[in-house]
Amino acid sequence: MEKNRVEAFSDGVIAIIITIMVLDLKPKPDEVELTNLKSLLPVFLSYVLSFIYVGIYWNNHHHMFHSTKHVTGGILWANLHLLFWLSLFPFTTAWVGANHRAPTPTAVYGFVLLMAAIAYFILQHAIIAQQGRDSLLAAAIGKDWKGKLSPVLYLAAIPLAFVSPRISDGLFILVAFMWLAPDRRIERVLAKRERE
């Protein structure tokens, strides 16, 4: 089975997720002052953070499938599972944006991040299993310390939200920065194999 339609469908879903989150950014009809924007700031910042997260997922998804040739039924469903958790981002983003000082929305935001990370991990291993011993993806991710550290930090952020949502927010931003730093593992391995 070819991978093109899986990529196209995932691109479509991720494009919609990243865009509909902006629908929560809505000033009330009679708010026309710069100070009204200030009350929108938490919604805006949670949008920015989620935009970056979805961007990271799309980026990594792009790299992951780039190293993939064939797609099995298992990979299809592991991919849909990942898309499911990503599809909850608009909900958690809206909730945390409207209540950024409340612990529960922040904890739930972290929970959905955690589940997405686990879903990504499962998808990654479904692809590695299909690629077999010479797996390009396995070689590319190496020890995958980012992929292993991220869920640990999300897991810590969930109870910490009940201490202070700010700590959890800090952890979410930390993980995002960790992934934003250019990750050339797959590019490097691909380039190396082509040279050989």
State the residues that interact with a copy of itself by CB under 8 A.
1-2, 5-9, 11-20, 22-23, 25-27, 29, 32-34, 36-37, 48, 51, 55, 58-59, 62-63, 66, 73-74, 76-77, 80, 83-84, 87-88, 90-91, 94-95, 98-99, 102, 104-105, 108, 180, 182-184, 187
CB of 143 to a copy of itself, least distance (A): 20
What does each C-alpha distance from 148 to 104, 105, 141, 151 come to in angstroms? 25, 24, 11, 6
- Give the nearer residue to a copy of itself in terms of CB position, either 106 or 150: 106
- Give the nearer residue to a copy of itself in terms of CB position, either 18 or 160: 18
CB of 100 to a copy of itself, least distance (A): 10
CB of 20 to a copy of itself, least distance (A): 7
